[in-house]
Structure 1
Amino acid sequence: MSKRIIATSLAPEAIGPYSQAIKAGNFLYISGQLPLDPSTMTFGGTTITEQTKWSLENLKAIIQSAGYSLVNVVKVNIFLKDINDFAAMNEVYKTYFTADFPARSAVAVAGLPKDALVEIEAVAYLE
């Protein structure tokens, strides 16, 4: 099995010792995406709705840069600063994944890097 690092300037650069994504065989493992504007590395909004959209756009940019698309996503993990934001996050999420939904977990955490409201990671598969 081959392993290849995926990186794109269309998503925020890593803020630590990790890769934006790793392609291993037919799988693509995408690191957690914060709601950062890649051109400024600042938050692209202050509400859960805005931040969810930015996180998903960053995820999508990485996926597409590797030659995959959102329909190839098989698993999503969502980390919320406040579980009360679950419904609002879901409203945005369902505009990105509209059919054949990936498996998913959504959990509240004590804190996220840069004090974000949401972080989203995913795994995609392409035959």
Structure 2
Amino acid sequence: MSFLINLVIGLIFGIGLVISGLANPEKVQNFLDITGNWDPSLALVMGTAVVTTFIGFRVVFARKKPVCAVNFDVPANRKPDRSLVIGAILFGIGWGLGGICPGPAITTVGLAATGTLIFVPAMIAGMLIARKVKAS
């Protein structure tokens, strides 16, 4: 049952990414280009996501336990550490250069977008390298 719920949530998320334009690398790059051809429309998408998340967290954590799990899995460490900062920097650089972040990249693989077909394997390789580096 939880697989179906996760599948439906993932499909809704993917459809939202496509409709909002977050799955379009050119639109994302134009949003990030504040000194050139700036497109502020994604600010509305991001603002809506922040408000939805803010409300959603309050609704979810008002429950005693999650609907599809035994308990909430909340990280104990709330302070930024070295790996978080480095990961955030690499994520930002990759997003800026590629014009797409991991969620939309996975979504657009199904659309067979040329840039995504290069980006996703590179992203997976980076994740595997990071896992090996962290383990050593």
TM range, smaller chain: under 0.3
Higher relative CO (Cα under 8 Å, sequence separation at least 6) belongs to 1
Report the structure, 1 or 2, having the larger helix content: 2
Structure (1/2) with the larger strand percentage: 1
Structure with larger Rg: 2
What TM-score, normalized to structure 1? 0.25
